[in-house]
């Protein structure tokens, strides 16, 4: 794999760390800024909504920039946002800083996926995208625990200073390693918007929303499930979440390699596996050892969907992938919000925690239906070879 992919992976590591580390720092932030834990929790929601809303805005603003310049500008926004987080004097300023930081998230991953795919041969494009997203999965395994440790020991502001430093390092890597290919720059806003008329692009976005939405039905409530249903202590839950993060890393690589061989058949198989794992977890969640093993396997299946889902959008918007790829990152976050909402809705209406995996199965099956429909439309649009046409008419 080319060295520029390492610069993209480092950027993804920094972005993933700043997105998720706030969860481990919520009590410290709430105490320091004199707000409640629920109010501090809105910093998570604000970031997610900023990703979904800011991605298309930044995509439009950078539509005429060469992709390397766009990545540099977005990483600069990321650095500034994290510096603002570190120096925020009150809750309102911290919320604004989190939203500013989130604006870089969606567009960076969207453009980064296109750049990653352009750096390798066609048969390795999904693996290249997966390598970039490996930085995001490693953020959950390494960056978030380290950032939480630093923040709890020396203050949450230091964590954001460190992440800002990572952003500067990533910006230097992009500047030094990513090639400045004028022939691979965005094709203009009009062409980018025009590609959204393609039904297959919207089907791909729907696949992402539902495919990852099923994951967050359970992941949003994984801590209470592991504590109240599986019987783990809070400290043990932290270790199991690290195990889940390791599964994400493995699944990311596996999903990329599978998608390179056969994208749509692989995606169908991965979604089937994801639904089956969730069905199994509904039973194994009552058994501590089995629950821990299932969580690891679930992590593999969950993130194995990411490279093929992102590659699908890049493939279907190949002549103008900038905006579509960026919107797909927003679709992941819409899926996160949808999954969390559906899980909360089920609990509000009397469902038990151990029933949430079945809700996740239903959402994943919906994603599977959309995927099969998209694959069917692909086959209908595939032209019949001339040799076969002659044979049919003779």
The class level of CATH for 1-185 reads: mainly alpha
Instruction: Give the pLDDT score at 384.
Output: 45
Please name the residue that has the structure tokens 């720059």: 185
Instruction: Give the pLDDT score at 82.
Output: 95
Domain range list for the chain: 1-185, 187-382
Of 311, 213, 305, 211, the C-alpha closest to 251 is: 305
Tell me the whole-structure pTM to 2 decimals.
0.74
Instruction: Give the pLDDT score at 388.
Output: 41
Alpha carbon distance 322, 56 (integer Å): 10
Instruction: Give the pLDDT score at 188.
Output: 58
Q: What is the dihedral of CA 300, 114, 5, 119, to 10 degrees?
A: 120
Instruction: Give the pLDDT score at 394.
Output: 35
Alpha carbon distance 78, 14 (integer Å): 9
- Do domains 1-185 and 187-382 share one topology? The answer is yes
Alpha carbon distance 356, 36 (integer Å): 27
Is 135 within 8 Å of 16 (Cβ atoms)? yes
Instruction: Give the pLDDT score at 331.
Output: 84
Is 248 within 8 Å of 303 (Cβ atoms)? yes
136 φψ region: left (φ > 0), alpha (ψ -120 to 50), beta (else):
alpha
Instruction: Give the pLDDT score at 244.
Output: 87
The class level of CATH for 187-382 reads: mainly alpha
Q: In order along the chain (394 residues), what is the average pLDDT of each group of 10 residues?
A: 84 90 79 81 79 77 80 93 94 92 85 83 79 82 82 90 95 89 53 74 90 86 85 81 86 87 90 96 94 94 88 76 76 82 86 92 95 86 48 40
Is 359 within 8 Å of 342 (Cβ atoms)? yes
Instruction: Give the pLDDT score at 319.
Output: 67
The structure tokens listed for 363 are: 């959402």
């Amino acid at each position: 794999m080319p060295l520029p992919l390492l610069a993209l992976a480092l950027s993804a590591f920094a972005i993933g760390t700043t997105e998720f580390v706030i969860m481990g720092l919520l009590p410290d932030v709430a105490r320091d800024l004199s707000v409640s834990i629920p109010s501090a929790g809105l910093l998570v929601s604000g970031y997610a909504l900023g990703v979904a809303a800011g991605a298309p805005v930044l995509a439009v603003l950078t539509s005429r920039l060469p992709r390397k310049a766009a990545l540099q500008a977005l990483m600069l926004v990321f650095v500034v946002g994290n510096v603002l987080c570190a120096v925020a004097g009150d809750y309102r300023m911290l919320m604004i800083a989190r939203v500013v930081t989130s604006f870089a998230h969606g567009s960076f991953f969207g453009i980064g996926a296109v750049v990653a795919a352009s750096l390798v041969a066609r048969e390795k494009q999904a693996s290249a995208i997966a390598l970039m997203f490996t930085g995001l999965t490693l953020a959950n395994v390494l960056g978030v625990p380290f950032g939480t440790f630093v923040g709890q020991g020396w203050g949450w502001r230091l964590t954001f200073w460190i992440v800002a430093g990572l952003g500067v390092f990533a910006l230097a890597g992009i500047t030094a390693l990513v090639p400045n290919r004028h022939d691979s720059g965005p094709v203009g806003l009009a062409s980018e918007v025009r590609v959204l008329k393609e039904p297959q692009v919207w089907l791909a976005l729907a696949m992402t929303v539902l495919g990852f939405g099923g994951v967050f039905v359970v992941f949003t409530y994984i801590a209470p499930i592991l504590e109240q249903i599986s019987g783990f202590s809070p400290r043990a839950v932290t270790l199991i979440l690290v195990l889940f993060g390791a599964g994400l890393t493995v699944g990311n690589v596996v999903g990329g390699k599978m998608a390179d061989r056969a994208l749509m058949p692989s995606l169908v198989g991965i979604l089937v596996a994801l639904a089956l794992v969730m069905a199994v977890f509904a039973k194994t969640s009552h058994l501590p050892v089995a629950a821990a093993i299932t969580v690891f396997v679930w992590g593999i299946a969950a993130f194995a969907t990411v490279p093929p889902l992102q590659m699908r959008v890049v493939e279907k918007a190949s002549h103008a992938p900038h905006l579509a790829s960026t919107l797909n990152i927003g679709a992941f976050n819409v899926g996160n919000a949808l999954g969390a909402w559906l899980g909360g809705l089920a609990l509000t209406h009397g469902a038990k925690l151990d029933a949430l995996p079945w809700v996740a199965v239903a959402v994943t099956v919906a994603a599977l239906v959309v995927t099969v429909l998209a694959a069917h439309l692909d086959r209908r649009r595939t032209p019949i070879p001339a040799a076969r046409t002659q044979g049919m008419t003779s």
